[in-house]
A and B are shown apart, each in its own frame.
Chain A
Amino acid sequence: MNKFVFVFLVLINHASYADKHIVISAPSIALAPASSTTYAAYLTIYNQTSDDISLRRIESTDFQKIEIHQTEIIEDLSQMRHLDEITIPANQQVSLEPGGLHLMLHNATIPLVLGEQRQLIFHFSDGTQRTEIFTVNNLTDIISQNSIKTPDEPQTNYMRSLKVFLQRFLPQHTLSGLMYEIARVKWEPLKNILISKFIDLYKVDMSIAKNPDPKSYADFNSFFTRELKTASRPIDNTKNVIVSPVDGAISQFGKIQDDLLIQAKGKNYSVSTLLGDKAEVADQFKNGSFITIYLSPKDYHRIHMPLDGQLNSMTYIPGKLYSVNKATTDQVDNLFAINERIVNVFDTDIGSVALVMVGAIFVGGMETTWEGEVTPASNRRGLSRNYDTQQINISKGEEMGRFNMGSTVIVLFEPDKIIFEADITTDTKVVMGQKIANNTNNSVNTNN
């Protein structure tokens, strides 16, 4: 309950500043023992302008002195460094979070109590002055806000490893082929049982389906890839807004560090491998941004365009079919670059955007609107097509493909083209059509 209220407050807080050049989110002060006079404060600063801006000075009537500190661990020695200022590069963000940058609030005039609020005034290099309300929170909540995971039962961990380990020996393609057949059985007693059990198991909300009668679907697959009522998935049509292409949970997102994307905490993989070792395509996304969204079985399984685009190329890369659930992505190296996948590259207002559909165990197949069924491919041989002469244009929110079972979508952007929404965090649930980012043309046009 506390966490819910906290997230709620963060959202409100964020919303109130959304129209400004500098956005501050998740401002928190960590609660400390009663005898403490010094506190650490954390926040994220987004610079939505096209100029670098520095945070120069912070003041408050509730603290004698506020400093910017950075924890550095060098050769296992933890050291505290005092910084004169923090520079937030144009169109980027800087997070002050536990174990890294933070504000040190010295000599509180009144001891802090959980849930209380304090005002801090921020002075930036461009002359902006901003008053922010900081809430006193438990460090545990601040850490989980920064997406460090909560403990797992040791036993569960062992079970998780085992399940993942077993997958290495499964005949992944045979099993998936079998599922493919079952999902297409039209014999009524069987397909009706499959569909109704599935609805019970995953608590599927049929009321938002365009066709709410489960029995009316010809087979399990057409139920699984059912269309939804248009009103249930409104597309954020604001110019410069990039929307989620799918229903799912965000598994990772952020900057691509040179050629490396995050798969799970502590696990990275390479953009070039993901895109099938095509240097000319992969180079565009070096140091760009990415977002990985996991579709669970109960989700809506059609994939729509996150922004307007013209299809440039489609590449089908054959591969394994590991599960893409959290337990597996945490453990199998290079998972997304091993699994079968389809790489779709679009030309857009913000340069190239790649939409990668990753197959998984039991994903009976993947389709695109222009090619129809791409997998399962009878020969499991690769396929690469260029469409530069065909003029296939797809608008934002229009369907571009579907998974004939749950899986993962990865969207790649070129460097400095987008800024993710401040309230997007790992494990956040998103629905198709919901805003996930702004393109950077935005800050110039709409902030006047």
Chain B
Amino acid sequence: MIKKRTLKSLLLFAGLLFIGAAIGLFTSRFYSTADAPPEISRLLWPNPKNIADFSMIDQDGDRFGVQNLNDKWSFLFFGYTYCPDVCPITLTVLDQFYSGITRAEDREQVQVIFVTIDPERDTTSRLKEYLDFFEPEFIGLGGSIEQVNSLTEQIGITYLHHLPQADDNYLVDHTSSVFLLDPQARLVSIFSAPHTTDEFASRFTDIRDFLSNYQ
């Protein structure tokens, strides 16, 4: 009787081992031949939009143009520092995504850029203080209205300044999406609000892996 039970257990173990090995083999095969393009939502491919030169001023007072977009993946967000809800949330989520990239060499390939659509109030020093609060490594861009428009018009950003209230404060409606540019300054994807770190991380990884086959 005991013999029969023992035999049954051994057979079951053998069965489990076999299945374990089969899964192992299957998995390793998968790793080596990951060539099928993943389904990536909102990938602007094969027709990405090339960004032409523009001229803006960063939070340190230096000129920032299209050449500064080369060789890095850029996440662009358009907002203003007096923005009460959406801008702090988006910058917080972008910072969670950015700080969540654990490998330093991966993180060095990514830059997050906050572009003000309220440059009259958002002076260079105000932008610097604002971004230092969220993530000092983020880039803040401002300048004159014309300089701001030299970039917003290319990407298709809408913004509407409201009339000032009694306390001179005013609100600005603005595009809430985040725009991803590849290292050749081409607009390759758009992330719509509400933003999540998961979405930034997973879609960015998918797009980067997919496009690396085309470089």
Contact = CB atoms under 8 A, between A and B. Distances in A.
15 contacts: A30-B88, A34-B133, A35-B126, A69-B84, A76-B177, A77-B160, A78-B176, A98-B85, A150-B96, A150-B100, A151-B100, A151-B197, A154-B202, A166-B26, A182-B16
Nearest to A186: B5
Contact of B175 (A69, A77, A99, A186): A77
Given A33-B81, A151-B198, A152-B198, A80 B100 contact: no
Contacts of B167: 64-65, 106-107
A157 B202 contact: yes
Contact of A185 (B8, B102, B129): B8
Contact of B12 (A30, A99, A148, A181): A181
Interface of A is mostly: mixed
A154 B12 contact: no
Given A140-B92, A185-B8, A166 B23 contact: yes
Given A77-B158, A78-B173, A187 B92 contact: no
A185 B9 contact: yes
Contact of B169 (A38, A40, A69): A38
Contact of A38 (B82, B101, B194): B82
Interface in B1-57: 2, 5-6, 8-9, 12, 15-16, 19, 23, 26-27, 30
**What are the 3 tightest A-B residue pairs by CB atom distance, in nearest-first order?**
A151-B100, A154-B205, A151-B197
A90 interface: no
B93 interface: yes
Interface residues of A, number: 51
Interface string A123-166: 00000000000000001100100001111111101100010001
Nearest to B199: A266
Most buried by A among B30, B200, B202: B202
B30 A151 contact: no
Contact of B193 (A40, A69, A73, A139): A73
B89 A139 contact: yes
B176 to A, nearest CB: 4
A426 to B, nearest CB: 14
B9 A76 contact: no
A348 B120 CA distance: 63
Nearest to A139: B92
Interface string B126-151: 10011011000000000000000000
A446 to B, nearest CB: 37
B97 interface: yes
Contact of A35 (B129, B192, B202): B129
A104 interface: yes
Contact of B100 (A153, A175, A190): A153
Contacts of B72: none
A71 B193 CA distance: 11
A79 B173 contact: yes
Contacts of A30: 88
A79 B202 CA distance: 28
A65 B169 CA distance: 13
Contact of A157 (B81, B173, B201): B201
Most buried by A among B88, B92, B171: B88
Contact of A178 (B12, B102, B158): B12
A169 B19 CA distance: 12
Given A34-B129, A35-B126, A187-B2, A162 B86 contact: no
B174 A78 contact: yes
Interface in B64-80: none
Given A99-B89, A140-B92, A178-B15, A76 B192 contact: yes
